[in-house]
């Protein structure tokens, strides 16, 4: 019964998005920490590719729900073709790629401070919005449990 509360509606998508933005934030922070490291190549994960993966997973879940009872439920299975994959246990694994769009400096580091800081801000905003939406879901659940809804 409790599992059914958290694998229906928007919660699985919000969970996957929070996992992605959290992992991407680690990558961006690592890139910032290595700005002056010779031969370091920045790595990142494409948010648009992840959003396409997430959209496909949501569509597959909806199709399966229509075949069953009409109520989408269950975790979202992310397939290959993007920066994330779902392993056999249902956990996300990420595959960052090297960023080659920046200028290569004399020390063979491809840093770009402006772009990296922009990525950090955008990723942080998406992460905070996702967490706020999850908090709203939990607040509604708490109200339902207390019988005030």
How far apart (Å, rounded) are the C-alpha atoms in residues 81 and 69?
Answer: 29
The one-digit pLDDT tens for each residue of the chain (149 residues) are 455 566 667 888 899 999 999 999 999 999 999 888 888 888 989 999 999 999 998 888 888 766 566 655 667 778 777 888 888 777 888 888 887 666 666 666 777 788 889 999 999 999 999 999 999 988 988 888 888 65
How far apart (Å, rounded) are the C-alpha atoms in residues 128 and 67?
Answer: 34
Q: How many domains does the chain have?
A: 1
Q: What residues have CB less than 8 Å from 86, skipping those under 6 apart?
A: 75, 76, 77, 78, 79, 92, 93
At residue 1, the pLDDT reads 41
At residue 115, the pLDDT reads 87
Tokens of 127: 């992460």
Question: Is the separation of the CB atoms in 125 and 47 below 8 Å?
Answer: no
Phi, psi of 73 (to 5 degrees): -155, 165
How far apart (Å, rounded) are the C-alpha atoms in residues 84 and 77?
Answer: 10
How far apart (Å, rounded) are the C-alpha atoms in residues 106 and 13?
Answer: 42
Question: Is the separation of the CB atoms in 85 and 78 below 8 Å?
Answer: yes
Which single residue is written with the structure tokens 């919660």? 11
Q: What percent of the chain has pLDDT over 70?
A: 80
How far apart (Å, rounded) are the C-alpha atoms in residues 14 and 77?
Answer: 13
- The structure's pTM equals 0.82
Q: Which domain holds residue 11?
A: 2-146
At residue 53, the pLDDT reads 92
């Amino acid at each position: 019964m409790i599992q059914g509360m958290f694998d229906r509606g928007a919660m699985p998508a919000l969970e996957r998005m929070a996992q992605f933005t959290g992992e991407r934030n680690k990558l961006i922070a690592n890139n910032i920490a290595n700005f002056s490291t010779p031969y370091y190549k920045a790595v990142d994960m494409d948010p648009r590719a992840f959003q396409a993966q997430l959209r496909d997973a949501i569509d597959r879940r909806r199709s399966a729900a229509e075949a069953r009872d009409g109520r989408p439920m269950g975790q979202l299975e992310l397939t290959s073709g993007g920066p994330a994959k779902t392993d056999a246990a249902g956990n996300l694994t990420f595959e960052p790629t090297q960023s080659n769009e920046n200028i290569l400096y004399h020390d063979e580091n491809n840093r770009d401070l402006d772009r990296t800081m922009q990525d950090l801000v955008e990723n942080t905003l998406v992460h905070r919005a996702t967490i706020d939406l999850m908090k709203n879901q939990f607040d509604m659940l708490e109200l339902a449990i207390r019988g005030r809804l």
